[in-house]
Amino acid sequence: MAFSLYSHILTHKSLKPNNFTYPSLFKACGSHPWFDHGRALHTHVFKFLEPPYDHFVQASLLNFYSRYGKLSLSRYLFNQICKPDLATWNSILAAYARNTSIDLSVDALFLFNEMQNSLIRPNEVTIVALIGVCADLGALSQGTWAHAYVLRSNLRLNRFVGTALIDLYAKCGCVDLANQVFDQLPHKDTLCYNAMIRGLAIHGHGRKAVDLFDKMRWEGVRPDDVTLVVVMCACAHVGLVEEGLKCFESMKEVYGIEPKLEHYGCLVDLFGRAGRVREAEEMVRMMPMKPNAVLWRSLLGASRLHGNLELGEVALKHLIQLEPETSGNYVLLSNIYASINRWDDVSRVRKLMKDHGVDKTPGCSLIEIGGAMHEFIMGDKTHPHSKEIYLKLEEISRRLHAHGHRPRTKEVLFDIEEEEKEDALSYHSERLAIAFALIASDSNAPIRIIKNLRVCGDCHVSTKLISMIYDREIVVRDRNRFHHFRNGTCSCLDYW
DNA sequence: CTAGGGTTAG
């Protein structure tokens, strides 16, 4: 291995490594088994190089740690650089972009702001990181600003920037814009297609996704394992079972791609969503690797969708083993019990949660109004316009009621009075965000919301009605996909 | 020209 040769050189006394040896070594240590080597290398840097360290070396060091998820260490090292240059700025921003947490993404935006204050001019690499952060946040106007910056500053709209933009627009609910960028790219590689196919998938355009997959091969762009994942995911979300199966079966022979856990996961989801629960279960038993939490959760989702209790119970049993602290799993099964009035079982699941010390993750919705992001936590009253928002919520509830909507209180986990349950539902974070948007944005532009959890059954029904009553398009990004509410219907066709 | 950059089942 080239690596051991390098370590040999490093330990050789007569060969003193210089600023150019280290970065390539850190890069080589950036994947799986070589974390310890990279750490050892870091110690070498201290021994052999005199501070101040070269930026080239610093950047590669930041990068190395962030690839192993050690963001705070990267940040610590970054803070010690007194005058960061373009490379070090890009490295730290890329480190933040690798992380999807909301708080860290917000930190990244502040960091970018700081970079601009330091008068270092961003290049394509900076913008790619920035766009990635915006995509995670669903910060459409910040992302659009970044796009405009590329055009204004004569940066190249290369395939890196292009892919990031496609992903941004798709994750902000604007598939058409994603498509426009996609069409403008002169040289599209596999990743460009993957991002676009995935974008179509999360918006429920399964047929278009499959067509694009066909076009991709027609254009001679080679599909990879990710392509197959996103195409099968697109099929699963619109019930194109045969198409999805065909993809899976052709993977190995036609494309020479060995199916991984994700592909089996897609297959299970494909069957599960379509109500072919038997086949889904059989697949779990037959597959050559051990099913993980994502896969069991997809089965749990299928059992909710099709009311298959036994399957749900089996799935939760496995989920408790694999991730005992994820509240969503318990809530999902509890809701299935509640929907068929098995209250004893509901309390049993609640007790299970207590035993494992699990609290329900609070729902959180983000919405962008006038270029600023607003965050709402379920039931929170900390927003400066809280008073108006709650007045609006009352109005919404009244109008929903007038349209015959009765809150589906069965899905409320807690053992509380019926009236309080209704409140709990109408204070779900996306409802707060919708109320605020109805007050604060006077245009007819769609209301775009980013949620940390899945939409609950009651919110799904109510939001459909709200879109009709207020004649407003509402676009909600779920934990895994989009819902376009319009005129009382949802683009997911209630199949989520 | 050169470090740093894009997609991934629920």
Q: Give the residue from A135, A106, A269 showing the smallest Cα distance to A199.
A: A135
Ranges A219-228, A297-306, A337-346, A433-442: which has the least confidence: A337-346
pLDDT at A11 exceeding the cut of 80 = no
Rounded-to-integer distance, Cα A209 and Cα A201, Å: 6
- Residue A128 CB lies within 7 Å of the nucleic strand B: yes
What are the φ and ψ backbone dihedral angles of A70, each rounded to 5 degrees?
-95, 65
Which nucleotide in the DNA or RNA is closest to residue A24, CA to C1'? Answer: B3
Evaluate whether A235 touches A244 at the Cβ level (below 8 Å).
Answer: yes
pLDDT in tens, A424-479: 666 889 999 999 999 998 778 899 999 999 998 889 999 999 999 999 999 999 99
Encoding tokens for residue A422? Answer: 């209704």
Helix axes A457-469, A418-426, angle to 10 degrees: 60
Q: What does the mean pLDDT of chain A come to?
A: 89
Stronger pLDDT, A185 or A332, i.e. the higher one: A185
Give the pLDDT confidence score for residue A60 in this predicted structure: 85
* HSE-CB for A68 with a 13 A CA cutoff: 22
Rounded-to-integer distance, Cα A178 and Cα A197, Å: 10
Q: What mean pLDDT is predicted for residues A196-200?
A: 98
Give the pLDDT confidence score for residue A423 in this predicted structure: 65
% of chain A with per-residue pLDDT over 70: 90
Give the pLDDT confidence score for residue A2 in this predicted structure: 47
Exposed (0-12), middle (13-18) or buried (19+): which is A327, by Cβ within 10 Å? middle
Rounded-to-integer distance, Cα A463 and Cα A469, Å: 10
Residue A394 CA and nucleotide B8 C1' are separated, in Å, by 42
In the DSSP assignment, the letter for residue A58 is: H
Q: Which of A6-10, A276-280, A326-330 has the highest mean pLDDT?
A: A276-280
| Coil, helix or strand at residue A161 | helix
Buried b (16+ CB within 10 A) or exposed e, A47-86: eebeeebbbebbbbbbbbbbbbebbebbbebbeebeebeb
| Coil, helix or strand at residue A59 | helix
Helix axes A35-48, A2-11, angle to 10 degrees: 30
pLDDT in tens, A160-191: 999 999 999 999 999 999 999 999 999 999 99
pLDDT at A78 exceeding the cut of 70 = yes
Encoding tokens for residue A221? Answer: 């762009």
The kind and range of the H/E element at A12 are none
Positions of strand B less than 7 angstroms from a protein CB: 3-10
pLDDT in tens, A133-155: 999 999 999 999 999 999 999 99
Which nucleotide in the DNA or RNA is closest to residue A54, CA to C1'? Answer: B3
pLDDT in tens, A204-238: 999 999 999 999 999 999 999 999 999 999 999 99
% of chain A with per-residue pLDDT over 90: 62
Residue nearest to nucleotide B5 (CA to C1'): A125
Rounded-to-integer distance, Cα A465 and Cα A19, Å: 63
Give the pLDDT confidence score for residue A219 in this predicted structure: 96
Residue A187 CA and nucleotide B5 C1' are separated, in Å, by 17
